[in-house]
Amino acid sequence: MTFSRVLFALLVTVIAAAPAAAQDRFVPGSQAQLRASYAPIVQHVQPAVVNVYAAKVVQNRNPLLDDPIFRRFFGIPGQQPEQMQRSLGSGVMVDASGLVVTNNHVIEGADQVKVSLADKREFEAEIVLKDSRTDLAVLRLKDVREKFPTLEFANSDNAQVGDVVLAIGNPFGVGQTVTHGIISALARTQVGITDYQFFIQTDAAINPGNSGGALVDMTGKLVGVNTAIFSRSGGSQGIGFAIPANMVRVVVASARGGGTAVKRPWLGARLQGVTPEIAETLGLKRPMGALVANVTPGSPAARAGLKLSDLIVAVDGQGIDDPNAFGYRFATRPLGGTAQIDIQRAGKPMRLSVPLETAPDTGRDEIVLKSRSPFQGAKVSNISPALADELRLDSGAEGVVVTDLADDATAASVGFQKGDIVTSVNGQAVTKTADLERLTREPQRLWRITVIRGGQKLSVTLGG
């Protein structure tokens, strides 16, 4: 028997002896297998992958108009010329009625969105839902009466490092392109792209324009949505990141249900990572898990019995290494049931049942401050549990928080940031938006303001 036949026989033996979960994965054992093509998968997937074109109108403003002396001597010119800014990305058809999922950064701020299908037809699209926390958005094609090809979601928790995957999108606007590679890593939580940091890493070539496109497995199912690359040149260097399909599924489900915001389970506790020093104190062999730093009274965490200094190590039997991993696992659990959370308390293992319910979101009373003050142009809101969760504030935070800032707002120019909690103005406490509106109604020579930013109290004095 030749060496090649012996090798082939050994490979067949190994494959036959593999556990059931790995039966679909094998090393090519013949020349015929090496000549296998991805074409059937591509032909099945391509019709459901689309190009997304977004455009917004911006007005070119002459900076000299900000100078009162210039305006005094030269007057204020008429309407300034407008310019159309365009962005390009990809998307995936996830519902036959014409629902498309893409990246939020592809359509952010867009006045007009168009979707081009693989067959070159083009449709106007409306934005159904935007979720900056996951960098996902859902679009709906306008005025359509037909059924469109879609991709089925894979269970991304079943993906393994080494699995072959295909990336499909529209890189650099050259047209629909397919690249292949493998899953290089799973559960990447230190990427810093979105609030929910839990990415599939792949070496399939991903470039600008691929954002929002499909990452599919060898069954033609959607395993992830391509969203970012690590690159020193701006082009692919073999390190791309995709949002797992299980997270995409949650966002799409909210859009299908008619929601304009994603509904997720709320824990009601602030978690922190485990450092080597903390691990040594807790008697752990390595830094792992998520340490409970705060529990909001009346929250699902509190009702389940979670306590300060508990160490969360698993969710529904799936181990977690850090708070980001917990955030992903918990956020992808279906609402209405319970999640089984494994913890260690004083070195002893315990299991708690946490109800899966959304955070309360009442009494925001969101307003835009228009009076002449350092807060002019800031959108502020009373802090609800849902808003605290959305802005990643301390779970027990109370008061008034900045939720948005216009680019040309006075508040932005003096340094206020989204997420700043305003606690006092000129020595008077701010507990609700009506307080802040009243305190900024009259111009002042000096403004003494106290805010909490990132857990730190800051006091500033500004001229009126």
83/152 same-domain check: yes
* Residue 198 domain flag: yes
Phi/psi region, residue 62 (left: phi>0; alpha: psi -120 to 50; beta: rest), is beta
Helices marked H in 134-210 — which ranges?
A: none
Given the residues 87, 90, 105, 310, select the one marked as catalytic.
105
Q: Does position 189 have pLDDT exceeding 80, yes or no?
A: no
Q: How far apart are CA 24 and CA 42, in angstroms?
A: 19
Question: Phi and psi of 24, rounded to 5°?
Answer: -85, 0
Catalytic (active site) residue 435: no
Same domain, 257 and 275: no
- The string of DSSP codes covering 98-148 is TEEEEEHHHHTT-SEEEEE-TTS-EEEEEEEEEETTTTEEEEEESS--S--
Determine the 3-state secondary structure of 279 from DSSP: helix
d(CA 140, CA 117): 13
Q: How many folded domains does the chain comprise?
A: 3
Residue 23 resides in a domain: no
Number of H helices, E strands in the chain: 12, 25
Tokens standing for residue 263 = 């509904």
Give the residue from 222, 242, 245, 250 showing the smallest Cα distance to 333: 250
The CATH number of the domain where 283 resides is what?
2.30.42.10
Residue of 136, 257, 137 whose CA lies nearest to 125: 137
Amino acid at 206: I
- Average pLDDT, rounded, for the chain: 82
The answer on pLDDT for 205 being more than 90 is no
219: tokens are: 């069954």
| Distance (Å, whole) CA 386 – CA 226 | 28
Residue 366 near residue 380, CB atoms below 8 Å:
yes
**From CA 105, how far away is CA 169, in angstroms rounded?**
15
User: Are residues 171 and 277 located together in one domain of the fold?
Assistant: no
Domain co-membership, 346 together with 210: no
Catalytic site residue 105?
A: yes
pLDDT at 259 > cutoff 60: yes
Helix (H, G, I), strand (E, B) or coil at 302: helix
Which of 215, 233, 263 is the last residue before a domain boundary?
263
Residue pLDDT, tens place only, 317-357: 999 888 888 988 998 898 999 999 999 998 899 999 999 99
Report helix, strand or coil for 170. Answer: coil
DSSP string, 358-393: PPP------EE--SSSTTTTEEEEE--HHHHHHTT-
Measure the CA–CA gap between 152 and 141, rounded to whole angstroms.
19
The bridge status of strand 222-229 relative to strand 82-95 is unpaired
Is residue 359 predicted with pLDDT exceeding 70? yes
Q: List 67's β-bridge partners, or say none.
A: none
The residue type of 149 is: P
Q: Is residue 25 part of a domain?
A: no
Domain termination residue (choose one: 328, 355, 382):
355
Q: For 161, list phi and psi in degrees, rounded to 5.
A: -60, 130
Position 290 pLDDT exceeds 90:
yes
**Mind listing the pLDDT tens digit for each residue in 216-251?**
999 999 999 988 766 555 555 667 888 999 999 999
Per-residue pLDDT averaged across 135-146, rounded?
A: 92
Helix (H, G, I), strand (E, B) or coil at 87: strand
pLDDT at 215: 93
pLDDT of residue 229: 67
Write 400-405 long-range contacts (CB < 8 A, 24+): 400/430, 400/431, 400/432, 400/433, 400/435, 400/436, 402/378, 403/366, 403/379, 404/378, 404/379, 405/377, 405/378, 405/379
Tell me, yes or no, whether 54 lies in a domain. Answer: yes
Q: How far is CA 412 from the centre of its chain?
A: 24
Considering the domain architecture, whether residues 41 and 169 belong to the same structural domain is answered as yes
Most confident of 18-27, 255-264, 365-374: 365-374
395 pLDDT above the threshold of 50: yes
Q: Which of 87, 90, 156, 211 is catalytic?
A: 211
The string of pLDDT tens digits covering residues 56-80 is 765 555 555 555 555 545 455 555 5
111 and 160 co-located in one domain = yes
Q: Which one, of 199, 201, 208, 207, lies nearest residue 240 by Cα?
A: 201
Type of residue at 125: A
Q: Which residues of 22-47 are buried (b: 16+ CB within 10 A; e: fewer)?
A: eeeeeeebeeeeeeeeeeebbeebbe
Residue 4 belongs to a domain: no
Whether residue 275 sits in one domain with residue 162: no
Claim to verify: residue 258 and residue 279 sit in the same structural domain: no
Domain assignment present for residue 63? The answer is yes
| Together in a domain, 275 and 349 | yes
Least Cα distance to 76 among 86, 84, 68 occurs for: 68
pTM of the model: 0.76
- Residues paired with 160 in a beta bridge: none
Domain that holds residue 417: 367-463
Residue 55, burial from CB neighbour count under 10 angstroms (0-12, 13-18, 19+) = middle
Active-site hit among 90, 131, 135, 184: 135
Do the domain assignments include residue 342? yes
Res 8 pLDDT > 80: no
Asked if residue 70 and residue 200 are part of one domain, the reply reads: yes
Rg from Cα positions in the chain: 26
pLDDT score at 363:
81
Task: Supply 41's token pair.
Answer: 């998968």
Q: Is 180 a catalytic residue?
A: no
90 and 160 share one domain: yes
Q: Indicate the residue among 290, 325, 355 that finishes a domain.
A: 355
The closest of 197, 223, 199, 454 to 326, measured between CA atoms, is: 197
- The burial class, CB within 10 Å (0-12 / 13-18 / 19+), for 237 is middle
Domain assignment present for residue 97? The answer is: yes
In a shared domain, residues 222 and 351: no
Query: Looking up tokens 């002019």, which residue turns up?
Result: 376
Distance CA 392, CA 166 (A): 34
Instruction: Concatenate the DSSP letters of all residues of 243-278 into one string.
Output: EEHHHHHHHHHHHHTT-SS-------EEEEE--HHH
Residue 244: CATH number of its domain: 2.40.10.120
pLDDT at 238: 66
What is the H or E stretch that residue 355 is in?
strand 348-355
